[in-house]
Amino acid sequence: MGNPADPSQQPTANEAVEAPTIARIQTPSFGARYLEVARRQLFARHPDYLPFLLRHLDIRPGMTVVDVGCGTGVYTRLMASRLHGEGQAIGVDIRPAMVAQAREIADEEGWIGVTNFLEGDALALPLPDASADRVFCNSLLWLLPNPVAALREMWRILRPDGVAFAAEPDGGLTHSFDPARPRLSDLEQRFQQAYVRGARELDGHDYDIGRKLPALFLAAGFVAIRAHPRLFVAAGCDLGDDPEAGLVERQAEYQQALAAMLADTPEARAQRERRWQRARVGGMSDADLLEHERETIAYLRERVSSPQAIIMDGSTYLYGGVLCEGMRFD
């Protein structure tokens, strides 16, 4: 692998999914590596997303860019790829294990010197005032009890005319449809909506934050605010550019999902009860939860046992959110 800081080897926006940062991982991993796998699967299945994101971030050589809540540093390294070796991409995360993992992966991929990773709270970023040109967070604000406070911290570390970006989910954009299983479609939709309500009440997690971002940016002091939709559509029969390999991968995913649903370990039971508790608080009955589980298991068993069922799967799952940007203007 070449030096990612070499401008001659930098990807264009349309080539971003082929950058070292977005290399495909063939073997599922767990722990801190799980986030890395999930991000790369998202990029591989939705190749239009990275060009969309990079176009709006508009990162140029010489800038200092900050990734708040960086996790394993996927977006930190993505932003570093646009600096062409001039400037710095800084990842900040409150979890020491994630920071350690981000440093390890950056070292493996040759990003040392271009990236830096710090332990820190989104509500008290370990960076000086007016020190960054771009600040970005992905799926962070929806977890926080006070997202405006985090945005104010992002405003604080921005230089005048610097821009902050937040890519956050919106549960209202989540929809499921399966023409062969209308009852499952109805139950899945109700479960998603109930879970969103229950998670908000029990955890303070706001899955509908995407639509609120412009108001939150205004409350934090930003101007020139713009909101951009991001919608991902996953069709059951879409097996990617290599259908044969895609079918094998999809069957493995269904097998893992079925095994997780059928697992009867204390940990599996506790995780299942946690999900059900939030759906109950959101208004779903135990009878409907049990039916939803039975219908889902039947769906997964059919696809695990029959590749043809996957090839002919007309189900569609839509999920999305909002990318919001705002400028610091003094």
- Closest listed residue to residue 209, CA positions, set 121, 138, 134: 138
Residues 132 and 186 in one domain: no
pLDDT of 7: 35
> Is residue 1 a part of any domain in this protein?
no
Residues 222 and 106 in one domain: yes
> Is residue 2 a part of any domain in this protein?
no
Amino acid at 111: W
> Is residue 117 a part of any domain in this protein?
yes
pLDDT of 232: 85
Question: 223 - beta bridge partners?
Answer: 327
pLDDT of 21: 36
Model confidence pLDDT, tens digit, residues 280-294: 999 999 999 999 999
pLDDT of 40: 62
- Phi and psi dihedrals of 228, rounded to 5? -125, 125
Structural domains of the chain, count: 2
Residues 222 and 255 in one domain: no
Model confidence pLDDT, tens digit, residues 48-95: 888 889 999 999 999 999 999 999 999 999 999 999 989 999 999 999
Residues 182 and 198 in one domain: yes
Model confidence pLDDT, tens digit, residues 150-188: 999 999 999 999 999 999 999 888 888 999 999 999 999
> Is residue 21 a part of any domain in this protein?
yes
| C-alpha–C-alpha distance, residues 73 and 89, integer Å | 10
Residues 129 and 266 in one domain: no
Buried b (16+ CB within 10 A) or exposed e, 208-231: bbbbbbbebbeebebeebeeeebe
Model confidence pLDDT, tens digit, residues 3-52: 444 433 433 333 333 333 333 222 223 344 545 555 666 677 777 888 88
Residue 11 is classified by DSSP as: P
Residues 276 and 307 in one domain: yes
Residues 78 and 186 in one domain: no
Task: Flag whether the pTM goes above 0.95.
Answer: no
What is the per-residue DSSP string for 142-182? GG-S-HHHHHHHHHHHEEEEEEEEEEEE-GGG-EEE-TT-H
| Cβ–Cβ under 8 Å, residues 112 and 106 | yes
| C-alpha–C-alpha distance, residues 130 and 154, integer Å | 10
Domain coverage including residue 282: 172-205+237-313
Model confidence pLDDT, tens digit, residues 215-260: 999 999 999 999 999 888 889 999 888 899 889 989 998 999 999 9
Residues 51 and 164 in one domain: yes
